[in-house]
Chain A
Amino acid sequence: MLAFALTLSLAAAPPSSPDALALVRRYDAVMSPANFEAQTKMVATREDGTTRTYKMKTQKSGKDKLRAQFLEPASAKGQEMLRNGENLWLWMPNLKRAVRVASRDSFMGGDFNNADVLRVNYEADYQPSIETGDPAGDVLVLKAKAQSAAYDAIKLWMTRDKDPQPIKAEFYAASGKILRKAEFFDVKDFGGGLVRPSRIKMTNEISAGRSSEMSWEAITLKDEIPAQRFVLDDLGR
């Protein structure tokens, strides 16, 4: 009975409870700062235990422009992905042109989708609310504002301290079925005041045994990245 009462008192958030919108902004700020260049590695583990490794360089400008250039493996080297607002393109070196791709497509065949990597802007894409009863941290419940969001709903756990960091997340389809789970590891100081997890492990809940881990080797914050790096005609150059 005491435990039940305690739960109730925690669920009824006091006026000093964290603000959902502020927490979403905090997540966007640490996981996807406005202007940066980064070296990233993704290791995709398949059902048979074998792995595929991809290395890429990413550049981001503002809230909705991102460019990823693949450096490894040799079979993917030269491929580039560009996001501008709602639009995603893939530039293929053997095609010498860009084709549009869907935001919910798998990112390089791994367990992240394109939007997970290229479209981290939860404030724009989701309506947040907060649950405070979980001892693991504050739980943000994010409901998609539009169909163009990567998922229909996300539950996101953030640490309950002065500078909240993401701990884990669950990603849901419209039916309520869980699609993926993410865990955030190794909070690291990347310089320029950016402190954030340097690894995310995404587990595929549809295909048992599959997971992908994205790790950020370096992130350099920039005042500005020239706008012409985010136009179609610059791809493949």
Chain B
Amino acid sequence: MLALALLLPCDLELQGSVAERVQATVPNEDSLLSTRDVPELLSLSEVNAQVRGGLLDDHLRLGVDASAFLPVQGGYADRDVDTGQLVEVDPDVVTPPDPRIALSEWWLSAEPVPHLLLTAGKKRSTWGSGQMASPSDVLNPPRDPTDPALQRAGFLHLRADAAFESWTVSALFAPGVLRTANSLPAELLLDDDDELHYAAALRGYALLFDTDVNAWVVWSNRYGDAFENHLRYAFSLSRTIFLEHEVHADVLVEQGSTRLYVEPDCVGGPRAILACALAGTPIADDALLDSERVLPKILVGWRWMPPDGSMVTAEYLYQADGMVKAEYDDLKEIAVLAGTAQRSGAPGAVALPGAPADGGDETPVRVSFAPQRRHYLLLSWLKPQVADDFTLQASAIVPVEDLSMLVSGSVAWQAQQWLTLSVLGFLPVPSPAMLSYRTDDDPLGAFYQDLPQDWRGWFPRGATVEGGPHGDFDGGPFHARIMIEARAYF
């Protein structure tokens, strides 16, 4: 379709960038899962091209956003099962990633009559107002919360918008892409068992009293998750107040959840797992899939935009289906066993419930993140034009229940109008519970034990598993990660 469109008389513009990223990672010997696939050194080269323009006197518009990636990596280390120390891993046992092409967007859009906009293809459609995370966004590929300014990939859909001065009505149909070949859909909508995979949405937008108000419903069947004939309600608001502040809310309301919870009977060591295997009990189960419980996900946020161009954002994310401490304890315990199995050479990959996706055929994310717990705080700060050409940025993801965090920071230098040089760092900060465990006298642990039972839930605690308590970011694959990137625009 798009190739055919390119044969028409057109007025196209090409822009893009060439980038080289060098990344160094310090592996974490306390990582719950094996780190043997995590390269200590990675070079990622990217050529990005974005084509946009009008065809047939602008009656048709098209957009393409494509990147070619060439990864080269080396140096692997993992914890030795016997000594607990990091040891070098034979690179021959690691399968390095292949070069790939990511088609983030490719779409055609037409305006057959004034106010009616038709769009077909792969395109990002974002109606939620969350900046670092958007719980209502169930259609786009997952975003990288540490990189809110680089979210290019969309999803395949047909969309119609009736857009007027201060309100819009949209209808959307998205077939599930079941298999891709060369980044293009090779199998969609209907699987081998004649099951349909799709999502359909109806949305209304209004600019009401200077507030962006979006409300939409999504009906889906096996679209990106296990829900069948499932209805979701979503709602978002965004408004500027007191000139320099923006407040927003991003809400998803649905019955049930596809989150996988570890079966408690399978927890308790290898014997418990073996017993589950013999009894045919799955270790993890989407126990709330058919539940009629209403389980909302709510994000509320505030953004401050002072006149110096800087920006401070604070967002709070609540997930009603997020894991409580007991469920999280079980997940981490299974993770410990899975890690041990990996390091002992267990065949096949070990996939944990809720493990972050790597993005598949999409643009590689810098850090992947799948929130498992109920409460998160997402913080970011951006300061442009420092000494004219430098931009400073910092962000933190904080699971409120254990107060571990992932902190990231960057310094970007716009050396030329066409060239940006950046240094980025990622640092998991241990939870107070983990720090307390690592000290001899465990003052926090003692304090916690002295608390009345009813009060304990108010204090942050990670999961209590072999190797000490673990917060969300305590058992991650690296101690620190640093990246240097050069990006030249054309």
Q: Which residues of A contact B (CB under 8 A)?
A: 46-48, 50, 52-53, 73-75, 77-78, 84-88, 92-97, 99-106, 109, 113, 147-148, 226-228, 230-234, 236-237
Contacts and interface: CB of A to CB of B under 8 A. Distances in A.
A147 B307 CA distance: 14
Q: Which of A47, A86, A100, A227 gathers the greatest number of chain B CB atoms within 10 Å?
A: A100
B124 A85 contact: no
B340 interface: no
16 contacts: A78-B50, A86-B210, A86-B240, A94-B151, A94-B152, A95-B149, A95-B151, A96-B151, A96-B152, A102-B240, A102-B243, A105-B307, A226-B114, A228-B111, A228-B163, A233-B117
Contact of B489 (A46, A75, A100, A113): A75
Contacts of A47: 388
Nearest to A99: B131
Nearest to A108: B309
A46 B388 contact: yes
Contacts of B166: 84
A93 B124 contact: no
Interface stretch (B37-45, B76-84, B176-184, B413-421): B413-421
A92 B148 CA distance: 11
Interface string B101-120: 00001000101001101000
Contacts of B24: none
A136 B13 CA distance: 46
Nearest to B214: A232
Given A102-B305, A109-B385, A230 B417 contact: no
Interface string B1-41: 00000000000010101000000000000000000000000
B212 A232 contact: yes
A152 to B, nearest CB: 12
B207 interface: yes
B256 interface: no
Contacts, number: 118
A73 to B, nearest CB: 4
B61 A232 contact: no
B388 A75 contact: no
A74 B15 contact: yes
B314 to A, nearest CB: 15
A236 B52 CA distance: 9
| Secondary structure call for the A interface | loop
B61 A237 contact: yes
A86 B246 CA distance: 13
B246 A100 contact: yes
B207 A84 contact: yes
Contact of A228 (B114, B126, B388): B114
A234 B117 contact: yes
A228 B149 CA distance: 26
Q: Considering the complex of A and B, which 6 residue pairs feature the smallest CB-CB distances, nearest first?
A: A74-B489, A96-B124, A73-B417, A97-B126, A102-B305, A75-B489
Contacts of A50: 388
Contacts of B154: 96
Contacts of A231: 163-165, 168
Given A47-B388, A78-B52, A233-B168, A100 B240 contact: yes
Given A84-B207, A102-B305, A232-B212, 7 more contacts: A77-B15, A84-B165, A86-B210, A96-B151, A109-B384, A109-B385, A232-B168
Q: Which of B111, B152, B305 gathers the greatest number of chain A CB atoms within 10 Å?
A: B305
Contact of B414 (A75, A88, A93): A75
Contacts of A87: 207, 210, 212, 240
A227 B164 CA distance: 7
Nearest to B123: A96
Contacts of B309: 105-106, 109
Nearest to B126: A97
A230 B168 CA distance: 12
A100 B238 contact: yes
